[in-house]
Structure 1
Amino acid sequence: MKTIGETLRQIRVSKGLKLKDLAINDISATFISKVERNESNIRLNKFELLLDGLHVSYDEFKYIQNGYSQSSQREFLEKLDYFVINDNLYGIQKLYENEKVLIPEKNPEKSLHFHNMTLALCHIRKLQGKNLPQKYNKLLVKYLLSIDSWGIYELRLFNNAMFIFDCASLVSLTQTAIDRAKYYLQLPGYSDLWSSILSNSLELLIENHEFEFAQKLLTQAEKNLNFEKTTQSEIKIIFLESLIAEKQNAKPFNSSSPEDIITACYCLKAVNWADALNKYLQNWRKENNGNS
């Protein structure tokens, strides 16, 4: 895979731009040249300005950086998502076996293939009704905590594996995800994935009747949500927040009941969203005997 600098230069040259054409504000042509030659690192805010100057999105940049193909990690996670949704144990086992043979003998726990294999094993054990061996759990946590800035891979890795953690660890790791991905939230894909992680974490905590943990997590994470551009995950977060407030006899921040949110989805013609939330609410009412 090309470096960031090599990719920047490739795109710039392909568009017939000179270094001085990209130089703006405090980004000089000399600095850009050093970045392209891998002699200097570049901060996120300056990187975004260069992408704007090149008229390419972050996704387009990554696609070019990977040689006009998806990264192996992204391809693995997308295949895993597909197999998990369809309860395809055979497909997950094949992914597990494919990743296992790619793990290096030296320092295997530092290889992404090792963590891909662990993730596949998580879902195999779940479908088999078995627990993941504790050593894999610990190594996965160790890896996630060793990364200072969580990119798409770390976020998706955690999002897929969160069901194996106890509630206290789940809250702690979700908070870590919030903190270590915050610098990237303005980039395409990150905000939606982050919202999905928060939504899934809250759902797991509620399913385990850990409402205090859920409320704590929601309070700390809410300020990072952007409800001006609402996604399905953010709608579900609002919905789950109303259930938490209902259970604790507290007033939700949105002052809406779960039924209000479902009705709003129907009014917005988001029928699939509304149906999914309504089904969730019916199961919730049944489990709680109609009383919250």
Structure 2
Amino acid sequence: MLKGFGKTFHAIRKSKHLSLSKVGGNEVSKAQISRFEAEKSELTIEKFFFLLHNMRVSLDEFESIYEDYSLSDEYQFRQKLIAAYDSKDVHKLRKMYVECERKMQQQPENIYAALTATVVKVFLNLVVGNVKFDPYEIKQVQDYLLAVENWGRYEFWVFGNVMTILKDDVRDSLGSIAMGKGEFYQVLHTNKRFAIRTFHNLASVALERGNLEQALKYLNHLDRMNISNDYLYETLLIKYAKGLYAYRKGVIEGLNEMEKSIEILEELGCIEKAHSMQKELKKILEVVDKEKE
């Protein structure tokens, strides 16, 4: 098992005030659990699932806690990438891409290294705006996503971040395919968040490019996903997008929905996102005022 599993398991067990014997029952000895928590030995998958069940902890819940608790390499990489993009740190983004290229050279058969490198390149392009993409890179992304039967968080992470460099027909084709690959993202909380944000991004890109039919398709799909209050941030983004769609369709009241979403985001402390949306709304209002004159 991965490093840190035992440590995470110990933290969860202690937080629930469960003894070794209570968790292990008659199936797993206290000594086995103790060695596992100390990361001196491993457990079989069957025993690990048994212990999780006895603690009433789902595998997805354990994974989420593990990623936050142990700060896995993948989690750290994504956080580092987001931080570099938010701060518009071109030097750091270039350095991350060079590191990805080096890994690709060391592991030429590693498709994940290649896909991750493309994602980093997209982030760099969003900042500097002059990065060239080889058609092979884009085809590699497309072929990989088409080959995966059920998309998990990695697939949504890749697609959600590269969609801006895809041609409209390719992006919409993959978006339509993504809607049918929902087994993993409908039942796993973190995966569902990745999926919600991806479909929201698809709707937003369609709205930005004036394709209202595509935008409505993704907004309707988000409605069918039965998004709960656990996803409040994402719900507000969708509410804003729906308001923008309504405005694009000639319903002026859509602007009110956009404004309400921004106000709540500000109250929740999502200042940077609220400000970027406010800038967009301000431009629209300026157009509306000119039309009234």
TM-score, reference length from structure 2: 0.71
User: Aligned pair count?
Assistant: 263
Contact 2:245/2:254 (CA < 8 Å) preserved in 1? no
Q: How do 1:185-224 residues align onto structure 2 when only pairs under 5 Å count? A: 185-224=186-225
Residues in 2 aligned to 1:289 and 1:281: alpha-carbon distance in whole angstroms: 12
Q: How do 1:82-231 residues align onto structure 2 when only pairs under 5 Å count? A: 82-103=83-104, 108=109, 110-126=110-126, 127-231=128-232
Q: How big is the shift at 1:214?
A: 0.9
Residues in 2 aligned to 1:287 and 1:71: alpha-carbon distance in whole angstroms: 47
Residues in 2 aligned to 1:65 and 1:227: alpha-carbon distance in whole angstroms: 24
Contact 1:199/1:237 (CA < 8 Å) preserved in 2? yes
Q: Deviations over 1:94-116 (max 9, x none)?
A: 111212222266653x4322211
- 2:259 corresponds in structure 1 to 262
**3-state SS, counterpart of residue 83 of structure 2:** helix
Residues in 1 aligned to 2:26 and 2:182: alpha-carbon distance in whole angstroms: 32
Q: How do 1:225-244 residues align onto structure 2 when only pairs under 5 Å count? A: 225-244=226-245
Q: How big is the shift at 1:202?
A: 1.6
Q: How big is the shift at 1:175?
A: 3.4
Q: Deviations over 1:121-175 (max 9, x none)?
A: 2233342423422110110111222222222222222222221112222233233
Contact 1:125/1:132 (CA < 8 Å) preserved in 2? no
Letter in 2 for 1:18: G
**3-state SS, counterpart of residue 231 of structure 1:** helix
Percent of pairs with identical residues: 20
Residues in 2 aligned to 1:14 and 1:107: alpha-carbon distance in whole angstroms: 47
- 1:279 corresponds in structure 2 to 279
Letter in 1 for 2:279: K
Residues in 2 aligned to 1:289 and 1:144: alpha-carbon distance in whole angstroms: 44
Residues in 2 aligned to 1:14 and 1:168: alpha-carbon distance in whole angstroms: 56
**3-state SS, counterpart of residue 221 of structure 2:** helix
CA 1:131 to 1:211, structure 2 compared with 1: closer, same or farther past 3 Å? farther
TM-score, reference length from structure 1: 0.72
- 1:25 corresponds in structure 2 to none
Residues in 1 aligned to 2:243 and 2:140: alpha-carbon distance in whole angstroms: 35
Contact 1:203/1:240 (CA < 8 Å) preserved in 2? yes
Moved more, 210-219 or 224-233: 224-233
**3-state SS, counterpart of residue 101 of structure 1:** helix
Moved more, 275-284 or 137-146: 275-284
- 2:39 corresponds in structure 1 to none
Residues in 1 aligned to 2:174 and 2:72: alpha-carbon distance in whole angstroms: 25
**3-state SS, counterpart of residue 102 of structure 1:** helix
Residues in 2 aligned to 1:220 and 1:64: alpha-carbon distance in whole angstroms: 29
Contact 2:186/2:192 (CA < 8 Å) preserved in 1? yes
Residues in 2 aligned to 1:263 and 1:62: alpha-carbon distance in whole angstroms: 35
Q: How big is the shift at 1:206?
A: 1.3
Contact 2:122/2:165 (CA < 8 Å) preserved in 1? yes
Contact 2:157/2:194 (CA < 8 Å) preserved in 1? yes
Structure 2, unaligned runs of 5 or more? 29-42
Contact 1:206/1:214 (CA < 8 Å) preserved in 2? yes
Structure 1, unaligned runs of 5 or more? 23-35
Residues in 2 aligned to 1:234 and 1:274: alpha-carbon distance in whole angstroms: 14
